[in-house]
Structure 1
Amino acid sequence: MSATNDKIRGNWNQLKGKVKEQYGELTDNDLAYEEGQEDQLIGRLQEKLGQTKEEVTNWINSL
């Protein structure tokens, strides 16, 4: 399990607010998270933001 997955699992509801502040175009559906579905969440963010998986995970870790 990666540090990013741990961070998502641990406090995604808090992080979600920061994400919405930075990327207002993301919807609740884009940010929906279910335990064990971290890769799907990262994939949706990649698609919406036009970034690589590494860029998305680095960004999440910086929050």
Structure 2
Amino acid sequence: MNWDVIHGKWDQIKGSVKEQWGDLTDDELTQVAGSRDKMAGKLQEKYGWTKTEVDEKMNDFFRRHL
């Protein structure tokens, strides 16, 4: 997964991220700003997922949206 591409397209895809993970607020998505580590941390915090679960879910989501 190329997070440089995700970072560059963040404004275009954050609406889809919000639809997928509705518990994330607009402010949190602004803070994430395409950072893989920040995104993983927010998902772990909001959903209680393990690092492995977060990695799998993020990889699946971003593969479909890039």
Q: Same fold (TM over 0.5)?
A: yes
Q: Which runs of 5+ in 1 are unaligned?
A: none
For the aligned residue pairs, the C-alpha RMSD in angstroms reads 2.4
Contact 1:26 1:48 in 2 (8 A): yes
Hey, which bits of structure 1, 4+ residues long, moved more than 3 A?
none
What amino acid is the match of 2:40?
Answer: I
Number of equivalenced pairs: 60
Higher helix fraction (1 or 2): 2
Q: Percentage identity across aligned positions?
A: 40
The alignment's TM-score, normalised by the length of structure 2, stands at 0.60
Q: 1:30 aligns with which of 23, 28, 31?
A: 28
Corresponding position of 1:40? 38
- In the aligned structure 1, how far is the partner of 2:28 from the partner of 2:39? 7
SS in structure 2 opposite 1:21? Answer: helix
TM-score, normalization by structure 1: 0.62
